Each structure stands twice: as structure tokens, then as C-alpha cells.
Chains A and B, each alone.
Chain A
Amino acid sequence: MIQFNEVSKRYPNGHEALRNISFTLDSGEMSFLTGHSGAGKSTLLKLICVMEKPTSGQVIIDNRNVGRVGRRKIPYIRRNIGMIFQDHRLLFDRTVFDNVALPLIIAGYPHREIGRRVRAALDKVGLLSKEKLHPIMLSGGEQQRVGIARAVVNKPPLLLADEPTGNLDPELSAEIMSLFEQFNQVGVSVLIASHDLSLIARLPHRVISLKEGRLLEDNNEVTGGA
């Protein structure tokens, strides 16, 4: 699903965010990406969803070298990646329903299909009763779950999450993680960037550790998921 071949990323200001990273995430695999802030976790995720392009090396997503993909093709790659952000990135002038429906509207799904899928996704994250509310009326944990519903609503084969439990208490964090495990169980590849080591330690998944842009540790033996 994801393959990094000797990937380095240097930003225009000279900061070297990633140095010579190589790893593979198989289809249907669930993995954590850890490291201190500034270790390069976010950059790695940005390379996968083509928000940045590698300075050298190859980032291959679904057998496609995304570093070489033209500007016009990028949206179609992103439609197959569900992204979850620490700051949720919701549209606050729209209802929960409209936020979750966004990827489907963009992809041009039929109207009835949109209603059906949005409600299924909201049901999955336990927010079906709040579809008509605006995100501002929800708690932090609920907003994060709206973000998750939006990420999975078009059933992407790959989920990326950047610090999805960053602002949540341990109980809510565990709930969110179990949601990701449920998606993984039905075949979705999941990559979660997190520095919540105590939470990660409790879960039996692969952990990729970064330090100052280098791959520090990759306990590939413990594979989670299906």
C-alpha cells in the first residue's frame, strides 16, 4: 500500500525533515508512527497525501510514484486516502452532516447514496443523532469523531491520522483507537502518527519510530490487523 524508498525531504529553508527513509506498509496493515515533535512524522504523512514532494527517493502509494504525479491528478489520489487531523479541520459554517458528506459531494456520488453513506459513517462513530448540529456545538472528542467519519465515508483503502488523540483524555483516546482498529479489521490500511507512547504500548501493532528525520526503530515482527 505504502512504500518509501530512500526518501529524503529537505524544506526550502534548509531544514532536513526526513533522511533516507525506507519502509513498507502492506495492504490491510495497521501501524503507528512515533517520535518527538519535529522528528518528521508530519512530513512523512504529508508525503503520502502529496501535500509535499520528496527531495529524493520514491514514495509509492498503490504502485504509483506520487512524487511524479501531476498537479491535476493529486485530488484523485487523495480521494483514496482518508485523512484525520489533530485540529480536526472541519468546516464550521456547515452542519456535521455536510462536513461528512464533503468527500462524497466532491467525488460526485448520487444524492441518495450520499445520505445513506453519511448516516452509516456517523452511526459508526456514534454521532448519528448530531448530524444537524454545527461542529462548534460539539466537544473536542466529538469533533474528532466527525473528522473520522469524514475520513472513512467514501471507504478509502488507506487511513492516515496525525495525532488523532492529541487533545483527548485517555478514555476518549482509547475509544478513538478502537475505532481505527475496527476499520483495520475490515481491511483498511491504517497509519497513525502519535507521540502517546503509553497508549501505543498497550496496542499490539507495528511501531515505526523516527528521530531527527531518521528511521530509529521498526518492530515489523509484531504486525497487527487482520
Chain B
Amino acid sequence: MSQSELGGPKGAQFSSGSTFISRFKMGIRHHGQECSKGLHEIFRAPISSFMTIAVLAIALALPAGFHVFLKNAQMVSSGWDNATQISLFLKMEISAEEVEKVQNELKNSVKIADVSLIPKDQGLKEFSELSGFGEALSFLDSNPLPDTLVITPTVAHSSPEASEALLIELQEIPEVELAQLDLQWVRKLYSMMAIAQKAVSALGVILGLSVLLIVGNTIRLAIQNKREEIQIIKLVGATDAFIRRPFLYSGLWFGIFAGILAWILVNSSVLWLKDPVRNLAGLYESQFRLSGLAFVEALQLIVIASFLGLLGSWISVGRHLKDIEPT
């Protein structure tokens, strides 16, 4: 420490600090250091950190798990999606020409996308093949089945209300004996799933809030443990931003680890259920396979978790750091 470096004999002067560029460079380096220090901090108390992360992961895994469940339910039922069909059972006495006439009229309707005819003979054949009553049916003198028109409404008219209205309209046609809306229950299932979707979103919000609170509380404890250190650092001229940084990084790391653990929890549960579900699907002659969180979804989960971790620690640091002043 030479005399020239410290200023003239009149006494040293207050300085405005280091240059902007050196501060900027140091800032970046410092961020890197704090980032790894935050990680270090988590590993310093591995058991309590792990428990915190596990609690966070469970809070995240619940909505994520329900999301996966709904996603799979939608996949199962997606084959039924455009299955809103109306079966028109025509009167027995109608001739083939009249059937064709009705079919053509219906084809021209703007509400109807497609009309297909199942002639009574074909209907009987299919029925005897699929029902297992083949033997018994051969004893019948005449075909008991009517000609059937299968109507597929346009997309605009396949909502439950519109298809209901169409059903009533079709019922009015004189040649029609009975109009039946098929798979109305699919629609009901869909609206139930829509409700479930909303419930999952609400659950997600509530559990996201709990993640904020858990991270916030963990960071609050960390701040209290470092009370003295914070006082000392403030005394030697640390800004609030400098003190805040390591806590924000630990919050971020908590979020990242919790996100990864939640992803592991969800996907291992899916893995565990995969075989039984495949067996069940096999019994229904379905090719359905249970799928877990896709890569992008897992990434989203981790990003959301780390954001929540950061936000939780931000709120906590903002609230508690101001209380600690050097004495």
C-alpha cells in the first residue's frame, strides 16, 4: 500500500467506486459464483433440503399427475369425438326408391355432413355376425330390421344442443319411425372432463401458491440463519441487490430440483400403471397405451417450478431482508 496510491498528504478522498465496466464484468462473474453458491447452499444441508424439495415436488406432482390422467382420458375418448351420429330407423313399409329419396334430401341439408345407408339386409348380416345370435336369427322368417340411415351432423351441429335440435327435426320426417342420437354419453363425458380440467387448473393454482409459500418460508429461515452474516455484509457496503442474489438463486434451484423430482414422480407412477392399463385396454381390444409427461410438458413443469421458486424467494427476501440492519 504505497503513499501515491492512497492520495496526497492532505488526506485520502472519498471515491465514487470502481469503473462501470469493471463492475459489469464482475457482476456477471459474481452471478455465476452466486449461482453455484446457491447450489452449494442446498447441498450443505442435504437432508433438510431434500425434504423441502420433496414437499415442493409433491405439491407440483399432484396437478401434473391429474393433468396426465386427463390427457390420457382424452386420448382414450378422442376416437369417439366425431361420433355424434344420429341413427334414423325408417318405417318398414318404405320402398327402396323412397329410401333413396330421403337420403338425397338429407344429403342436401346444410346441417348434415354425411348420410350413409345401412340396408336392412346388410344390417341383419352385421348383427348376426357381431351379436353371436347368428344361429337364432336364421330361424326368423323375415328380416325384422328396418333400413337405417346414419346421419353425421356437420361440426357446427354436433354440439349436444344442436344435435338435439337436429334430432327433433329428423324425427318429424314422415318416413322415419325412430330417430336416435348415439353416443350422447360421450358428450356428457366431455363436459365432465371439461369440469375436471377446470378443477385441475384450480388445484394447480392452489398448489402453486403453496409452492410459493413453502419456498418463501424456507428462504425466510435461511435469511434468519444468516442474520449476522447479512449484518456484516451490509456494514462493509453491500447493496440490497448483492445480499438478495444468493437467496434468489437458492429459490431458483429449489424450484428446478422440485420440478425435476415432480417429473420423476409422475412418470414413474405412469410407468407403474402402464402394464395393468395395457392389459385392461387389451380386454377392450384397444391399442391404448398410457403416456406420461412428454419432454415439452416436463420442461414446462420445470420452468413453472423454477419460476415459482424464484418468485417465492423474491417475495420472502423482499419482506425479511429490510428488517435486518446492522447494530
Partner-B contacts on A (CB < 8 A) = 1, 26-29, 49, 51, 61-62, 72, 75-80, 83, 89-91, 93, 102-103, 105-111, 120-121, 124, 150, 152, 155-158, 186-189, 226
- Residue of chain A at shortest CB distance from B16: A76
Q: Given A106-B237, A106-B238, does the pair A157, B14 have CB atoms closer than 8 Å?
A: yes
Give how many A-B residue pairs fall within 8 Å (CB-CB).
117
A37 to B26 Cα, complex, angstroms: 42
Q: Given A76-B17, A110-B22, A152-B1, does the pair A28, B237 have CB atoms closer than 8 Å?
A: no
A226 to B2 Cα, complex, angstroms: 15
Chosen A-B contacts, 17 in total, with CB atoms closer than 8 Å, are A27-B12, A28-B9, A29-B11, A51-B327, A61-B14, A72-B240, A75-B238, A75-B242, A78-B234, A78-B237, A90-B232, A108-B27, A121-B1, A157-B7, A187-B11, A187-B12, A188-B12
A46 to B150 Cα, complex, angstroms: 90
Q: Chain B, 135-153, contact with A by CB distance < 8 Å: what is the 0/1 string?
A: 0000000000000000000
- Which parts of B9-36 form the interface with A (CB within 8 Å)? 9-15, 17-18, 22-23, 25-27, 29-30
- Residue of chain B at shortest CB distance from A156: B12
Question: B8 in the interface, Cβ–Cβ < 8 Å?
Answer: yes
Most chain A beta carbons < 10 A, residue from B13, B233, B236: B236
CB atoms of B236 and A83 under 8 A apart? yes
CB atoms of A110 and B11 under 8 A apart? no
Question: For residue A79, which residues in chain B have a CB less than 8 angstroms away from its CB?
Answer: 17, 236-237
Question: For residue A77, which residues in chain B have a CB less than 8 angstroms away from its CB?
Answer: 237
A224 to B230 Cα, complex, angstroms: 36
Across the interface, B236 reaches (CB within 8 A) one of A26, A93, A103, namely A103
CB atoms of A91 and B229 under 8 A apart? yes
A107 to B238 Cα, complex, angstroms: 8
Question: For residue B242, which residues in chain A have a CB less than 8 angstroms away from its CB?
Answer: 75, 106
Question: B325 in the interface, Cβ–Cβ < 8 Å?
Answer: yes
Across the interface, A27 reaches (CB within 8 A) one of B13, B237, B238, namely B13
Question: B95 in the interface, Cβ–Cβ < 8 Å?
Answer: no
- Residue of chain B at shortest CB distance from A94: B229
Partner-A contacts on B (CB < 8 A) = 1-3, 5-15, 17-18, 22-23, 25-27, 29-30, 229, 231-240, 242, 325-327
- Residue of chain B at shortest CB distance from A90: B232
A165 to B240 Cα, complex, angstroms: 31
CB distance from A114 to the nearest CB of B (A): 9
Known: A51-B325, A77-B237, A106-B237. 11 other contacts (CB 8 A): A27-B13, A75-B242, A78-B237, A80-B14, A102-B233, A103-B237, A106-B236, A106-B238, A157-B11, A157-B13, A189-B12
Question: For residue A121, which residues in chain B have a CB less than 8 angstroms away from its CB?
Answer: 1
CB atoms of A102 and B12 under 8 A apart? no
CB distance from A89 to the nearest CB of B (A): 5
- Residue of chain B at shortest CB distance from A42: B327
Question: For residue A105, which residues in chain B have a CB less than 8 angstroms away from its CB?
Answer: 26, 30
Question: For residue B22, which residues in chain A have a CB less than 8 angstroms away from its CB?
Answer: 108-110
Across the interface, A187 reaches (CB within 8 A) one of B9, B18, B325, namely B9
Question: For residue A150, which residues in chain B have a CB less than 8 angstroms away from its CB?
Answer: 236
- The 9 closest A-B CB pairs, nearest first, are A28-B11, A27-B11, A157-B12, A79-B237, A108-B23, A108-B26, A78-B237, A62-B14, A80-B14
A110 to B23 Cα, complex, angstroms: 8
CB atoms of B239 and A157 under 8 A apart? no
Question: For residue B25, which residues in chain A have a CB less than 8 angstroms away from its CB?
Answer: 110
A172 to B147 Cα, complex, angstroms: 114
CB atoms of B3 and A187 under 8 A apart? yes
CB distance from B286 to the nearest CB of A (A): 60
- Residue of chain B at shortest CB distance from A152: B1
Across the interface, B1 reaches (CB within 8 A) one of A51, A110, A186, namely A186
Question: For residue B15, which residues in chain A have a CB less than 8 angstroms away from its CB?
Answer: 80, 157
CB distance from A73 to the nearest CB of B (A): 10
CB distance from A226 to the nearest CB of B (A): 5
Question: For residue A189, which residues in chain B have a CB less than 8 angstroms away from its CB?
Answer: 11-12
- Residue of chain A at shortest CB distance from B6: A186
CB distance from B210 to the nearest CB of A (A): 32
A103 to B18 Cα, complex, angstroms: 12
CB distance from A78 to the nearest CB of B (A): 4
CB distance from A141 to the nearest CB of B (A): 20
Question: For residue A111, which residues in chain B have a CB less than 8 angstroms away from its CB?
Answer: 26, 29
Question: For residue B17, which residues in chain A have a CB less than 8 angstroms away from its CB?
Answer: 76, 79, 107-108
- Residue of chain A at shortest CB distance from B19: A108
